[in-house]
Structure 1
Amino acid sequence: MCVRTGAERHDEAEAGETGARAAELRVALDGIRSIRGLTNSGPEPQTRPAEWERRRLLRTVSLLLEAAGMAPSAVGEDGEPARTGYRTDEGGRAGLVVVRWVGPRGSGARYQERESLLRCRQVLRDWGFEALEVRGPGGRRHLEVEAGPE
């Protein structure tokens, strides 16, 4: 399954918004639950990311956000955001994913940033990830996401 990081071209992202996509996301979430149940030991194995998720952190974070109904951004031909939504990228070190809220110039994405990132953070925390809100250059917020302790 192809995950949406928000870096996909606008036309590709639009083409994937179907009932079939929603079904794929449900199956993927069921897969994550199954993997956690089979591979995590100890009490409440569903509450912590499995090793498989840790090795595919960008993929897992992107999948969880989209499955929760968060809209991924998309880029235009110029490489700039063409749609408002989340954008996930590898962080500056292993085991870290950065989540930003981006949109086209004039879209108001900056004003939606705090509330939207709070929703993203809650989705990720509900799945057992650690998500810290950080302010970067120009005061722009983003989340730094890690899988947390095993």
Structure 2
Amino acid sequence: MNDRDSQADGLRVRTGAEHPDAVEAGRTGARAAELRVALDGIRSIRRLTNSGPEPEARPAEWERRRLLRTVSLLLEADGIAPSAVGEDGEPVRTGYRAGEGERVGLVVVRWVGPRGSGARYQERESLLRCRAVLCDWGFEALEVRGPGGRRHLEVEAGPG
């Protein structure tokens, strides 16, 4: 994700690939208020652009074009902590890390942490929580086992 996408609309989203100082700077009451406003914006966009019954129950086209941003925003807004990375790119904090998938329209969410943090043992429960949040917002989130048996979510916006 590039900086233009991550800062669109003035709110920098947390994918879990940021350095700790950037993540710490976001842990304020002002940040919580910004996240609430962003969620209200998503609901409004859905009401205005989706047709049919329950327009707020499924992602809008705007979200589909910004899937990584939307997924990261929804997870953080629900109180799920993003990970953070050190200078070497390795996790320094346990939390979600969202990234682009292997194809367009797919986001991968992993649960990561520093070596010895026990993140692997928290993985299933934490990803289930992430999955529940995303499904509540109308996204499809499939739990997949990858190399070494590590789990991750593959998230899509689903049918329009």
- TM-score, scaled to structure 2: 0.93
2:109 counterpart residue number = 99
State yes or no: 1:68 paired with 2:78.
yes
Structure 2 Cα separation of the partners of residues 14 and 108 of structure 1: 22
1:7 match: secondary structure: coil
What is the CA deviation profile of residues 14-48 of structure 1, one whole-angstrom value per residue up to 9, with x for unaligned ones?
A: 11100000000000000000000000000000000
**Which residue does the alignment assign to 2:66?**
56
Alignment of 1:118-133 (within 5 A): 118-133=128-143
Segments of 4+ moved more than 4 angstroms: none
Aligned partners of 2:152 and 2:19: how far apart in 1?
A: 22
* 1:47 aligns to 2:57 (yes or no): yes
One-letter amino acid matched to 1:61: V
1:134 pairs with 137, 144, 160, which one?
A: 144
Structure 1 counterpart of 2:39, one-letter code: L
- Equivalent residue in structure 2 for 1:25, among 35, 46, 50: 35
Give the distance between the partners of 1:55 and 1:120, measured in 2 at CA.
Answer: 20
The equivalent of 1:112 in structure 2 is: 122
TM-score, normalised on structure 1?
Answer: 0.99
Gaps in structure 1 of 5+ consecutive residues = none
Counterpart code for 2:51: S
TM-superposed deviation, 1:53: 0.2
User: Partners in 2 of 1:40 and 1:105 — Cα distance?
Assistant: 44
State which of 3, 6, 25 in structure 1 corresponds to 2:13. Answer: 3
Measure how far apart 1:96 and its partner are: 0.1
RMSD over equivalenced CA pairs, Å: 0.4
Gaps in structure 2 of 5+ consecutive residues:
1-10
* Partner residue in 2 for 1:149: 159
**Equivalent pairs: percent with the same residue?**
87
